[in-house]
């Protein structure tokens, strides 16, 4: 792996205080992309790594929410941009969030810090912001204390076009999208993604209209409130999001302890964390051999096996028996694809190896799955996931995602998290 090339990707996507996921297609700051970017920056410039997280919390809402995109500077042509979101804040942002991995990243930066004084100072400054964020997630997205937080938009899952959201999304009326997208059939006018990437690798026009209609509904309800949660026509307990929140809760509490900080209600948070572990255990499917999401509007389990269902491994949730079952599931997937980890079960009818979140491999998911496997002692399988990831990068460059059958690179090029995690992965050894 060419570490210099990876570093050049980060530098090319650096906008001073934040890193864009990819030039052109993604011209702003995305929440979980930025967190992973910080892991890459930590390998080359620690000050810059902390800066990345600082710029995220600088956009925090008074409620505690961390928005999924921060529109630092206007980028004409991006859709849906600041005008559609209609958030009267500075910096402008969207009104929804994304998988909460920031606390996990902050803890890793702190633990591996070479400059200890810098790390203590930066982590102490981040801590209250992260506590407020996690408390917001529990209060507003789980008002009934079920232990599972809801996502209100597929974009909040970070796995935007996952087949797991199809049914819940199909109940979202798309008519309102006309207000900002014009009549059906005219999507080409506003969709920027399909100008950059082949349409067969992106969501369909109808899905896109529903995404936008959902934004407008959430906007009507002010986005970050219990009211918006209740009113959302899309309400899902995403197993990936919940597992990452559980892991991030533990990391936040661990960081607070290490720093000797007593941030407000940390005691209550420990109890919540245990309740959330039990609730996530309730998403286990023996038949599928992994965890599944739940549609909170209907109360039904969503019976589709995707890579999100493996993320509880990264959170240390499954018992050793369940972890062994998940390993068997993943090994089964590994017999059907050349490169692990496909984003959807390659034996299932939903598998599309080239389309966004319906089959392709994503490097950041691999990084988390490999770490989870390793923590359960499955070193060989963890090593396969790591080797496959680096082989994809060798073969096709730092792409947004990859075809698990052929290794072809797909989506945007010079992609930040692929470069950042390759740096993290090869930091100790020269692969």
Work out the number of other CB atoms within 10 angstroms of the CB of residue 300.
11
Question: Pick from 18, 26, 61, 376: which binds ligand GLC (CB under 6 A)?
Answer: 26
Written as six digits, the tokens of 265 are 């209600």
Residue 78 contacts ligand GLC per CB under 6 A: no
Return the closest-CA partner of residue 199 out of 210, 187, 183, 212: 187
Shortest distance, position 404 Cβ to ligand GLC, whole Å? 17
Shortest distance, position 165 Cβ to ligand GLC, whole Å? 11
Residue 160 contacts ligand GLC per CB under 6 A: yes
**First-residue to last-residue Cα distance in the chain:** 6
Residue 32 contacts ligand GLC per CB under 6 A: yes
Angstrom distance (rounded) from CA 28 to CA 55:
12
3-class DSSP state of 55: helix
**Complex with ligand GLC: residue 33 or 388, whichever CB lies closer:** 33
Written as six digits, the tokens of 186 are 């005219």
What are the catalytic residues? Answer: 160, 400
Question: Pick from 21, 334, 353, 407: which binds ligand GLC (CB under 6 A)?
Answer: 21
Q: Do residues 1 and 426 lie in contact, with contact meaning Cβ atoms separated by under 8 Å? A: yes
Region from 27-35, 169-177, 202-210, 388-396 binding ligand GLC, contact rule CB under 6 A? 27-35
Burial 371-401 (b: 16+ CB within 10 A, else e): bbbbebebeebbebbbebbbebbeebbbbbb
**Complex with ligand GLC: residue 32 or 71, whichever CB lies closer:** 32
Could you tell me how many residues of this chain bind ligand GLC (CB under 6 A)?
7
Cα three-residue angle 228-233-235, rounded to 5 degrees: 75
Residue 33 contacts ligand GLC per CB under 6 A: yes
Question: Pick from 158, 312, 346, 407: which binds ligand GLC (CB under 6 A)?
Answer: 158
Question: Pick from 7, 9, 30, 365: which binds ligand GLC (CB under 6 A)?
Answer: 30
Region from 30-38, 194-202, 205-213, 315-323 binding ligand GLC, contact rule CB under 6 A? 30-38
Dihedral sign, Cα of residue 70, residue 74, residue 75, residue 76? positive
**Complex with ligand GLC: residue 378 or 415, whichever CB lies closer:** 415
Angstrom distance (rounded) from CA 311 to CA 178:
36
Contact footprint for ligand GLC (CB under 6 A): 21, 26, 30, 32-33, 158, 160
């Amino acid at each position: 792996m060419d570490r210099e090339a990876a570093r050049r990707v980060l530098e090319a996507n650096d906008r001073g205080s934040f890193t864009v996921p990819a030039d052109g297609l993604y011209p702003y700051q995305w929440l979980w992309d930025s967190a992973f970017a910080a892991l890459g920056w930590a390998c080359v410039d620690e000050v810059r790594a902390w800066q990345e997280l600082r710029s995220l919390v600088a956009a925090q809402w008074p409620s505690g929410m961390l928005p999924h995109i921060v529109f630092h500077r206007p980028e004409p042509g991006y859709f849906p941009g600041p005008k559609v979101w209609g958030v009267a804040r500075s910096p402008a942002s969207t009104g929804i969030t994304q998988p909460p991995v920031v606390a996990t990243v902050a803890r890793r930066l702190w633990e591996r810090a070479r400059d200890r004084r810098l790390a203590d100072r930066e982590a102490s400054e981040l801590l209250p912001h992260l506590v407020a964020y996690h408390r917001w997630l529990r209060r507003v997205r789980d008002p009934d204390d079920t232990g599972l937080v809801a996502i209100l938009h597929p974009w909040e899952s970070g796995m935007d076009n996952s087949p797991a959201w199809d049914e819940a999304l199909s109940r979202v009326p798309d008519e309102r999208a006309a207000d900002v997208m014009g009549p059906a059939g005219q999507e080409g006018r506003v969709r920027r993604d399909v100008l950059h990437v082949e349409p067969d690798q992106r969501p369909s026009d109808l899905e896109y209209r529903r995404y936008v209609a959902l934004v407008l509904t959430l906007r009507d309800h002010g986005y970050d409130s219990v009211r918006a949660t209740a009113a959302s026509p899309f309400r899902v307990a995403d197993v990936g999001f919940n597992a990452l929140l559980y892991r991030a809760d533990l990391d936040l509490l661990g960081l607070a302890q290490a720093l000797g900080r007593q941030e407000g209600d940390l005691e209550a948070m420990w109890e919540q964390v245990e309740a959330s572990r039990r609730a996530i255990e309730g998403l286990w499917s023996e038949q599928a051999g992994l965890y599944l999401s739940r549609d909170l509007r209907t109360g039904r389990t969503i019976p589709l096996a995707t890579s999100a269902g493996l993320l509880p491994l990264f959170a240390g949730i499954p018992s050793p028996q369940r972890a062994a079952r998940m390993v068997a599931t993943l090994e089964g997937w590994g017999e059907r694809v050349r490169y692990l980890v496909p984003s959807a079960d390659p034996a299932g009818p939903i598998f599309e190896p080239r389309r966004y979140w319906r089959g392709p491999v994503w490097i950041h998911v691999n990084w988390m799955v490999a770490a989870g496997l390793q923590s359960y002692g499955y070193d060989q399988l963890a090593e396969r996931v790591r080797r496959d990831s680096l082989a994809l990068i060798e073969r096709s460059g730092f792409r947004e995602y990859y075809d698990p059958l052929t290794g072809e690179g797909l989506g945007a090029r010079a992609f930040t998290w692929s470069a950042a995690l390759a740096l993290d992965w090869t930091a100790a050894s020269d692969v």
